[in-house]
Amino acid sequence: MAISFAGDFTVQRKPEEVFDFLSDPQRFGPLLPDFESMSVQDADHFTVKVKVGISHIRGTAEVKMAREQVQRAVRAAYSGQGSMAGGGVQVKAGFDLKPEGDGTRVHWQGEAQVFGRLASMAGGLLEPLGKKNVQKLIAGLQAALDQQGEKGR
């Protein structure tokens, strides 16, 4: 089962500042919904653990992430693969940055593929839950970036 998502928002920070935030998993990782922990292997690889739960399938997903594309102040993109109770997941996410006035427009897009028992048992619950969690993450990113922007003024 594939879940695609995309959108955009504007923050009052320079593209370089937004890029620095979005390319540092130590800064954005804790904003993931149901975040448990993270370990950073190197500048381009990290593993994140998040709680998952749909119906009676509950546990922790461990997702190994890699930074795939980096163009300072323009783009940061990630891919990952993980396992969880009842299945597996593959994710891709990217952020494209454009200057807009005194700030930056952030266009984000991504996809999650869920495999195994989790996908078959969760059925129609998986997509709305996934989209809700993505919206929580994006709202958290935007709030953190807006807050940082206000501190810099």
pTM of the model: 0.85
pLDDT in tens, 55-84: 666 778 899 999 998 999 999 999 999 987
Task: Compute the mean pLDDT over every residue in the chain, rounded to the nearest whole number.
Answer: 88
**Does pLDDT of 21 surpass 70?**
yes
CA distance 36 to 30: 8
The answer to whether residue 123 scores a pLDDT higher than 70 is: no
Query: How do the domains of the chain map onto residue ranges?
Result: 2-151
pLDDT at 132 (0 to 100):
87
> Rounded mean pLDDT of 24-52?
93
**pLDDT tops 80 at residue 139:** yes
User: Any idea which fold 2-151 has?
Assistant: Alpha-D-Glucose-1,6-Bisphosphate; Chain A, domain 4 (3.30.530)
Contacts 24+ apart (CB under 8 A), 142-149: 142/9, 142/11, 142/106, 144/21, 144/27, 144/28, 144/31, 145/11, 145/13, 145/18, 145/21, 145/106, 146/11, 146/12, 148/13, 148/17, 148/21, 149/11, 149/12, 149/13, 149/17, 149/103
